[in-house]
Amino acid sequence: MVEPALLVVGGLGASAALAAGIRVRGHSGKSVTRIDPADVGLREFPELGAFVQYSAPASPSCRVSLNRLAAAVAPHSGDAIVIEVHARTLGRVPTVLYVDRNGEVVQRWAGPPDRAELAELLG
């Protein structure tokens, strides 16, 4: 059974998401500030938002981070989601973005997020 709060984008899906640009709203050269839900395979983001993690499948720290994110959203039954994008060329992984329901990037991490910080963000 697949956990509904976890979406893994891999293979062609990851390529499509990355090709779609996880588009930056604003000036070129800036870091991502907004993500369109369609860029990660959704119609809309859930009420509490989404965690988008760029991962390398063989990375132990990516697995730690993904497990931490999944545990944080589990009590919120569909009001938050974790999206994993397999990426080989993004530099440091995991890179995690917390996106609110409007697609605005609220927080970013270059490693596994702290459990307490995740709990605080999700209220």
Whether 1 is in a domain gets the answer no
Residue 110 belongs to what H/E stretch? Answer: none
Q: Report if residue 65 sits inside a domain.
A: yes
pTM of the model: 0.76
User: What's the pLDDT score for residue 5?
Assistant: 53
Which own/partner pairs from 22-30 qualify as long-range (CB within 8 Å, at least 24 positions apart)?
A: 22/52
In a domain, 31, yes or no: yes
Asked if the structure places residue 25 within a domain, the reply is yes
CATH code assigned at 72: 3.40.30.10
pLDDT computed for residue 58 by the predictor: 87
pLDDT in the model for residue 31: 76
- Number of structural domains in the chain: 1
User: CA dihedral defined by 77, 53, 37, 27, rounded to 10 degrees?
Assistant: 140
Do 72 and 114 contact (CB within 8 A), yes or no? no
pLDDT tens column, 64-97: 999 999 999 999 989 999 999 987 655 678 999 9
Task: Give 23-26 contacts, CB < 8 A, sequence gap 24+.
Answer: none
Please report whether residue 102 resides in a domain: yes
- Which are the contacts of 100, defined by CB distance < 8 A and separation ≥ 6? 45, 49, 106
Q: What number of helices (H) and strands (E) belong to the chain?
A: 3, 5
Q: What pLDDT is stored for residue 87 in this prediction?
A: 75
Flag residues of the chain having pLDDT under 50. Answer: 1-4, 9-30
In a domain, 91, yes or no: yes
**Per the domain annotation, does 112 fall within a domain?**
yes
